[in-house]
Amino acid sequence: MAGGKETPRQKMIGMMYLVLTALLALQVTSAILEKFVLLNNSLESSTGSSNRVNQETVEKIKQAVSKSGNRPADVAVMGQADQVRKSSSELISSIDALKQRIIAEAGGGTDEQGNIKNLSEEEKVAQIMINGEGRNGEAYKLQTALNGYTESMSKIGNAKYASMALDAKDDPTASRSKDQRGKDFANLNFAQTPVPAALAVLSQKQSDIRRVEGEVLDYLATKVGAQDVKFDKIMAMLSMESKVVVAGTKFKGEMFLAASSSGIQPRMSLNGGPVRMDNGRGIIEFTAQGGGAYDKMGLSRRVLSGSISYNAPDGTVKTVPMQAEYFVAKPSYQVETATMPPLYLGCENKLSIQSPQLGALWNPSFPAEGAQVIPSGERGKITIVPNSARVRLNVVNAGTTLGSEDFKVNRVPRPTIEYLVGGRSTADPRGVPVDGARSLQVRAVADPSFAAYAPNDANFRVTGVTVNLARGTRRVFGPMTLGPGGGSLGAMAAEMQPGDRISVTIEGVQRRNFRGETSDVPMGNMTQNIPLY
């Protein structure tokens, strides 16, 4: 567009394009600023709603205190609630004043429709909130006020509230940015920040103040009437002798009403330790331990000792002790064999180990010594691949070792070599007839019991065969090499005579295991003489 050879018309079109691009950029910026205005309005609306809810909580506290006779302890709680409201409202009012100053000085005030005149102003926002290098800006005063507020609320609300005004290095998000992590609170939130964005930041702080205020007031509300034992929560309960009932036997239990009070915070302990509370009820959960002291029925008696303490109406602390016995059953399991016995070295040995007694709680693991254990995806069903002469399999359920099983490991039995000449077995002591000796097959046949127990590991093959035709002490024909498993003897058939013998030498035997891996099988002397008649 700026080339020297362009015509005046082309230059004019190029200039119009640049102006249009600039206008589009300004429109995008204006749209973003409008979004900040909407965000700020939404935050202010949310803060107003929280304020009304918090005021209702204070009114409920006052009503509860009055209904309980204005006891000193409850009146003190009501005073704390009033102080929380006062501190929150004062801090929010100071932020409102700061927002109005930004609108007036940086935003140029509002027009007749109530819209801020200058939304994009950034420099005057920085002058008000940061004010150069002297830490004299309003943001530094606000940081001190906000963090002081959360500290005081933490003491009253018996909880640790996070600081609302963090420097970038302490902020979980800003600390990850190398461009932001060196900034303090003021520069992080108000440097190069247009008017509506600064207002949204301040409105967010107001929303956080109302949120913390609400949580603290809710906590104070639970303290009002804490000395009154009012059973206002009624529950229907069913106590069963056992959740597991064998078909044909009786189901036994007790059905009753149970009550608790939302106005008290009971303290419960069991066997010397505290009990986790949930909605006024103690939640008990632990791993049952038999300790090895099982009787002849496989049961170990245990006793739970605990207590529940609460504040009585007269101001004293009442403690109710309790004891309950239960029995821990010794877990058992059964080893169901799929490819056993025995275990075969380096082979796929499938086991199924189940515990009907544990039922749905049965989710075992099987650390092993001397073997690799391969899970099947079904509970209790595994494949063991031994790598030593003995295997110890540990049975563990829910972190508890239930027992160990020792297995002897056998080596894979060697296959039997079978020879077929012309399709006929060579088991006949006379050998095979000359006129039928036109082909030779050599097969490595797995041991029948091994093949039945480990079919995926009982895959043998002869790798190659060398054949000679001998007559007396001399060789008449050969050597002739056949492929794996044998082949045609047609080339030497013309030389065969009754009384000759076929000398077969096997080059090797291999086995393929369940993983598809192939290994050599040591067979010793692999030469066989087959007489001809």
Strand partners, 306: 270, 322
The answer to whether residue 9 is domain-embedded is no
What are phi and psi for residue 78, nearest 5 degrees? -60, -40
Domain of residue 308 covers 233-240+252-283+290-329
pLDDT in tens, 427-474: 888 889 998 889 999 999 999 989 988 899 999 999 999 999 999 889
Total structural domains within the chain: 4
Compute the residue count for the chain.
533
Tokens read off for 291 = 């300790």
How far apart CA 397 and CA 331 sit, in angstroms, is 9
Same domain for 191 and 305? no
Residue 259 exposed, middle or buried by CB count within 10 Å (0-12, 13-18, 19+): exposed
| Triad 125, 126, 130: Cα angle to 5° | 130
Same domain for 41 and 189? yes
Strand 501-512 to 349-354 pairing: unpaired
SS3 state of residue 165: coil
Same domain for 41 and 160? yes
Statement: residue 407 has pLDDT above 50:
yes
DSSP string, 282-313: EE-------TT---TTSEEEEEEEEEEEEE-T
pLDDT in tens, 259-314: 776 666 788 888 888 888 887 778 888 777 766 667 765 677 778 888 888 776 55
pLDDT in tens, 313-329: 555 788 889 888 777 77
Same domain for 463 and 369? no
The answer to whether residue 350 is domain-embedded is yes
The answer to whether residue 17 is domain-embedded is no
> Mean pLDDT, to the nearest integer, of 233-241?
73
Alpha carbon 417 to chain centroid distance? 54
The contacts of residue 19 (CB under 8 Å, 6+ apart) are none
List the CATH number of the domain containing 403. Answer: 2.60.40.60
The confidence band for 226, taking pLDDT boundaries of 50, 70 and 90, is: very low
Same domain for 167 and 44? yes
Same domain for 180 and 199? yes
Q: Which residue has the tokens 């949204």?
A: 200
Instruction: Confirm if 110 and 118 have CB atoms less than 8 A apart.
Output: no
How far apart CA 55 and CA 86 sit, in angstroms, is 11
Give the containing element (helix H, strand E) for 260.
strand 253-260
How far apart CA 108 and CA 100 sit, in angstroms, is 11
Q: Which of 436, 358, 443 lies closest to 397 in space, CA to CA?
A: 358
The contacts of residue 40 (CB under 8 Å, 6+ apart) are 196, 199, 200, 203
Same domain for 354 and 426? no
Strand partners, 276: 283
Ranges 153-162, 232-241, 348-357: which has the least confidence: 232-241
Same domain for 202 and 348? no
How far apart CA 16 and CA 330 sit, in angstroms, is 89
Strand 349-354 to 233-240 pairing: unpaired
Buried b (16+ CB within 10 A) or exposed e, 124-157: ebbebbbeeeeeebbbbebbebbbebbeebbebb
The contacts of residue 60 (CB under 8 Å, 6+ apart) are 221
SS3 state of residue 425: strand
The answer to whether residue 104 is domain-embedded is yes
What percent of the chain clears pLDDT 90, i.e. is strictly above it?
34
> Who has greater pLDDT, 237 or 520?
520
Tell whether the torsion through CA atoms of 24, 30, 33 and 37 is positive or negative.
Answer: negative
> Mean pLDDT, to the nearest integer, of 358-381?
88
Q: Which of 206, 210, 212, 213 lies closest to 40 in space, CA to CA?
A: 206
The answer to whether residue 246 is domain-embedded is no
The answer to whether residue 456 is domain-embedded is yes
Strand 343-344 to 400-410 pairing: parallel
Same domain for 501 and 402? no
How far apart CA 237 and CA 384 sit, in angstroms, is 48
Statement: residue 221 has pLDDT above 60:
yes
- Rg for the chain (alpha carbons), in Å? 45
Same domain for 201 and 74? yes
Alpha carbon 372 to chain centroid distance? 26
Same domain for 42 and 112? yes
The answer to whether residue 434 is domain-embedded is yes
Tokens read off for 261 = 């009070």
How far apart CA 443 and CA 509 sit, in angstroms, is 9
N-terminal to C-terminal alpha carbon distance within the chain: 105
Q: Which of 297, 324, 317, 319 lies closest to 308 in space, CA to CA?
A: 319
Domain boundary among 360, 377, 410: 410
> Mean pLDDT, to the nearest integer, of 88-94?
94
Statement: residue 229 has pLDDT above 60:
no
The contacts of residue 3 (CB under 8 Å, 6+ apart) are none
Domain boundary among 389, 410, 431: 410
SS3 state of residue 484: coil
Average pLDDT of the residues of the chain: 83
Tokens read off for 210 = 């109302």
Same domain for 430 and 515? yes
Strand partners, 501: 470, 531
Domain boundary among 378, 410, 442: 410
The answer to whether residue 12 is domain-embedded is no
> Mean pLDDT, to the nearest integer, of 237-252?
65
How far apart CA 513 and CA 495 sit, in angstroms, is 41
Tokens read off for 95 = 């932020």
